[in-house]
Amino acid sequence: MYYQYIELPKGLSYSSVFSVKPEPVMTLWSTLHTVLDHRRRQRRRHNLRTILTLAILALCSGHTSYLAMQYSSLLAKAQNANITPTDLATVCTITNCTLPASLPHGIYLANGDVNLNTYNFPTNKNYVFLVNGNLTLQGDIAIPLGSTALFSTAKNIIVSSNVGSIPTVTTSNLTGWYIAGQSFIVNTNGNCNDLRLNIAGSVVVNTSGTGGTFQNKRDLCTADTTAPSVSFNQRLDMILNAPQFIRQQQTVSKELAP
């Protein structure tokens, strides 16, 4: 290894040479803060900087479209990769499904409607559930940091009226990615007896393109002025920890002259 030394002229000190003040380093978060938000105020449900950060993280992780996570696309992707999903009916009774505590990570397929009970997913594992029908969530779904779970249905995702908390509680009731081929339906108890639903993750509807909406049927009545009937929180870790199976690789090629 060779070193090169430069002798400074007499009267010129190192301090005067190397005392240049460096330019301040701009982080992505601070840079996004300078982006102007041109949305009307009544439409600003989420901070623009947070939305842009989520979009950038998703693109960096290969998530270029939620349509790539629809039921038919994921099933075809598994088949093309010679991956055989585990039949969910071999794990639980799908009409009243309670998943085992030590559920192995992987891809699970249900041919028919699924009624899923309360479940706490194991740590540091990734899951994909493909439901060729409707998925009804009958209890809380908890996913710890380091794990991911994606539920993709051919039809609707339905949240039972008993899933939720009193209006003052913000703890998540449902965690994960919920990709509905048709609608995501939040059912009601009626008569001002509804619970607040807290979702940590993402909900996407109408990925099949045949029609579907986010249907919130709940009403907190007098509590509506202080609490939302449905709230969303980000889970950035799930974007970064997403399994390779649901990511997309984009390759751009260009022929150059020799």
Whether 131 has a pLDDT exceeding 90, the answer reads yes
Per-residue pLDDT tens digits for 77-94 = 888 888 899 999 999 999
- What does the alpha-carbon distance between residue 195 and residue 166 come to, in Å, rounded to a whole number? 5
Which of the listed ranges 26-30, 109-113, 201-205, 240-244 does the model predict with the highest average pLDDT?
Answer: 109-113
Phi-psi region of 35 (alpha: psi -120 to 50; beta: other; left: phi over 0): beta
CA-wise closest residue to 229 among 179, 193, 204: 193
Helices (H) and strands (E) in the chain, counts: 5, 14
* Neighbouring C-beta atoms of residue 202, cutoff 10 Å: 20
Q: Which of 4 and 176 is assigned the larger pLDDT?
A: 176
Structure tokens at 221: 């009545």
pLDDT of residue 251: 47
Q: Answer yes or no: is pLDDT of 149 > 90.
A: yes
Query: Domain spans of the chain?
Result: 46-246
Alpha helix locations (H) across the chain?
14-17, 28-32, 48-60, 71-80, 236-240
- Both tokens of 2, joined, read 């060779």
- pLDDT beyond 70 at 211: yes
* Summary mean pLDDT of the chain: 83
Q: What is the mean pLDDT of residues 12-33?
A: 60
The confidence band for 41, taking pLDDT boundaries of 50, 70 and 90, is low
Task: Give the pair of three-digit tokens for residue 233.
Answer: 């929180």
pLDDT at 46: 64
Residue 33 has pLDDT above 80, yes or no: no
pLDDT band with cut points at 50, 70 and 90 for residue 209: confident
Model pTM? 0.74
Distances (CA, A) of 153 to 39, 45, 168, 189: 32, 27, 31, 24
> Stretch 44-56: mean pLDDT, rounded?
67
Tell me, what's the pLDDT at 112? 97
Average pLDDT in the 41-53 region?
65
Name the E strands within the chain.
86-87, 106-110, 114-116, 119-120, 126-131, 135-137, 141-142, 148-153, 157-159, 174-180, 184-186, 197-204, 214-216, 230-233
